Structure 1
Amino acid sequence: MKAPLYLVLATLFWSGNYVVGQAAVASMTPLQLTFWRWALAAVPLLVLAHLVEKPDWRTVLRRWPVLLLLSVLGMSGYTLLLYSALGYTSALNASLITAANPALIVVLAIVVLGEKTTRLGWLGIGLGMLGVLLVLTRGELERVVSLTINTGELMMTGAIGVWACYTIVARRLGVAPITSTAVQVAMATVTLAPFAVALHVQLPSTPADAWSLAYIAVFPSLGAYLFWNLALKTTPPGTAGNYLNLMVVFTAVITVVLGTALTLVQVAGGILVLAGVLLTGTKGQARVKAA
């Protein structure tokens, strides 16, 4: 019963990251946010991993190629794309596009892990993609042909592709979850440091930016990644991916509370995406092939 709770908490914290991140990118660059996010989270995570899981660090570091790949995908690549996208599109639109991630994860699980899905599962995938297209084109599907889609929403589409790959690879890692997260975060800090130095990245200069970074470093960084990796130890990728759609609900609630109105296209797209997820996750759940 712990895994569902971990997945709900992870998606709640990530939903807050969309809203806070959108406000933060108005005065901070995506690289600035990403670098300090992981730099501030790295040491606490490493200490927590050492105290709780007591890993054999030499054994863990033998997996450095896979851990580095995960760090590049989930810590650096996804985060940079997300914050870049939030400079061009709304937090709600970003979360609606993220809602297509479960379908994408199921497709990758079929291709990479040899899982199966049903006809209803494929129908769910189709509905989810249609919902995302509605959001991307703002209800004008002909814009797909003319390629006049918002830059931020295209970046967000790339981000969910990166995250789907991260989830598939992380499922087969075989390293304790807190340790895995901590090493990936430390690697992201090291690999991003040269770029941060070259571009003169500095800490936030205003109290508002400092509070935004503090939230991002603690909840979406420490909390969400930790809970996500804990859940993946006992949860198939396709099932875990379904929980990402709670981000639509959480983000919509947060943005409405903050005074942002929902459009009819956003509501229709969200309904299609969530309907697709229900079909993919309940009636069309992927099943792993027998060896």
Structure 2
Amino acid sequence: MAFSFSKSNRWLGYALLTTIFWGIWGAMIEIPEKNGFPATLGYTVWAFTMIPPCIFALYQINWKVEYNFKSVLYGSLAGLLGAGGQLILFETLKIGPAYLVFPFISLSPVVTIILATFLLNEKTTSKGWVGIGLALLAIPLLSYQEPGNGATGGYLWILLSLLVFLAWGIQAYILRFANETMQAESIFFYMTVTGLALAPIAIGMTDFNQQINWGFSGMYSAAFIQILNAIGALSLVYAFRYGKAIIVSPMTNAVAPVITIVLSLLLYAVIPHFIIILGMLLAVVAAFLLGIEEETENIAEES
């Protein structure tokens, strides 16, 4: 990807790009839906906005996609887990309380950290673990929503939330694992293909009896907003190429919501709950510790 990050901080640069794009995306994502463009169709639009970053990525490798069995398997798994988790989330939010669902699934980096620690043998120092711990504490706090709706589907929403939690946690691990044996660009290509392959399911989940806004404030604004998510996803794949999963995953999951909350405050003049403010403070400290820790380690390895 054509950005001039130094070798030692390349992972951090891409991780920050992801947090910035995802942070802005998070602040704006509700706009199309509030204007009458369903979230399921928003997924479909997102799948198509993955194409431009994919073309950019493939250009970087002269269109030479890796198509051996392992590459197809790892890339497709990463795409199916990410996109499939999103589709399951749509159903989860129909029957479960958002103020419980989001904190639950936001802890998916726990899965990534466990897998990366035991299967990839990734390690960090005590300072790094403090940063990871603070990030994991910050994520559910940043996802806090005051109780406003109750679960209507019994305990099914818990099972569905668990599936999303596992899917996204395992996806992040696979992104790191796959980068050991294949190019990041090929990974993103298969993520794009699988995202598009699941689009018909999202369309089938849409209630077309409702009035749908196909205009600028609906579908077209969704496209503009979803391209931010797509670019952030490409940056994330590169971040996992150069950085540790136990660092990248909690950092991006903790910092992006901070940007979302700050922008939402500026755009909508909404004062965050004190629990969310606490989460923001923890996330900032965690990001600082993780960034400094990994940067120090990289410099030590190069010297």
Q: State TM-score, norm by structure 1.
A: 0.72
Determine helix, strand or coil for the equivalent of 1:261: coil
Q: Distance in 2 between matches of 1:188 and 1:15?
A: 21
Secondary structure of residue in 2 paired with 1:28: coil
Q: What per-residue deviation string (whole Å, max 9, x for no partner) do you get for residues 66-93 of structure 1? A: 2221111123324763897599659xx9
- The offset of 1:257, in angstroms, is 0.6
Report deviation, 1:139. 9.2
Q: Distance in 1 between the 2:19 and 2:137 partners? A: 23
CA shift, 1:13, in A, is 0.9
Q: How does 1:88-127 map to 2 (within 5 A)?
A: 89=98, 98=106, 100=107, 104-116=111-123, 127=134
Q: Distance in 1 between matches of 2:278 and 2:226?
A: 33
CA contact (8 A) 1:130 1:269 kept: yes
Asked if the contact 1:103–1:280 (Cα under 8 Å) also holds between the matched residues in 2, the reply is no
Unaligned runs of 5+ in 2: 1-5, 148-155, 298-303
State the partner residue of 2:153.
none
Aligned-pair identity (%): 17
Q: Structure 1 residues 82 and 161, CA, compared in 2 at 3 Å: closer, same or farther?
A: farther
| Alignment CA distance shift 1:131-1:154 (3 Å) | farther
Unaligned runs of 5+ in 1: 141-150
Q: Report the TM-score, using the length of structure 2 for normalisation.
A: 0.69
Instruction: Write the letter of the residue equivalent to 1:64.
Output: V
Q: 1:231 aligned to 216, 239, 257, which one?
A: 239
- Partner residue in 2 for 1:172: 177
**Residue of 271, 282, 285 corresponding to 1:261:** 271
The residue number in structure 1 matching 2:280 is: 270
Q: Distance in 1 between matches of 2:127 and 2:54?
A: 43
What pairs with 1:17-28 in structure 2 (closer than 5 Å)? Answer: 17-26=25-34, 27-28=36-37
Alignment: residue pair count: 271
Q: Does the 8 A contact of 1:82 with 1:156 survive in 2? A: no
The structure 2 residue matched to 1:183, chosen from 182, 190, 194, is: 190
2:263 and 2:252 mapped to 1: Cα distance?
17
Tell me if structure 1 keeps the 8 A contact 2:78–2:171. yes
- Which secondary structure state, in structure 2, belongs to the residue aligned with residue 115 of structure 1? coil
Structure 2 counterpart of 1:193: 200
Q: Distance in 1 between matches of 2:19 and 2:163?
A: 19
Structure 1 pair 162/277, CA: closer, same or farther in 2 (3 Å)? farther
Residues 194-236 of structure 1 deviation map (CA, whole Å, 9 limit, x = unaligned): 5525757798513211333222342211x11111112222111
In the aligned structure 2, how far is the partner of 1:5 from the partner of 1:135?
23
| Whole-angstrom CA distance in 2 between matches of 1:161 and 1:277 | 23
Judging changes above 3 Å, is the alpha-carbon distance between structure 1 residues 176 and 22 closer, same or farther for their aligned structure 2 residues?
A: same
Q: Is the 8 A contact 1:46 1:183 kept in 2?
A: no
Deviation by residue 1:30-69 (Cα, 9 ceiling, x = unmatched)? 3211122112433x34533443212444635663222221
- For residue 177 of structure 2, what is the amino acid of its counterpart? R
Q: Which residue of 2 aligns with 1:216?
A: 225
Structure 1 vs Structure 2 CA RMSD: 4.2
Displacement, 1:189? 0.9
Distance 1:96 1:260, change over 3 A: farther
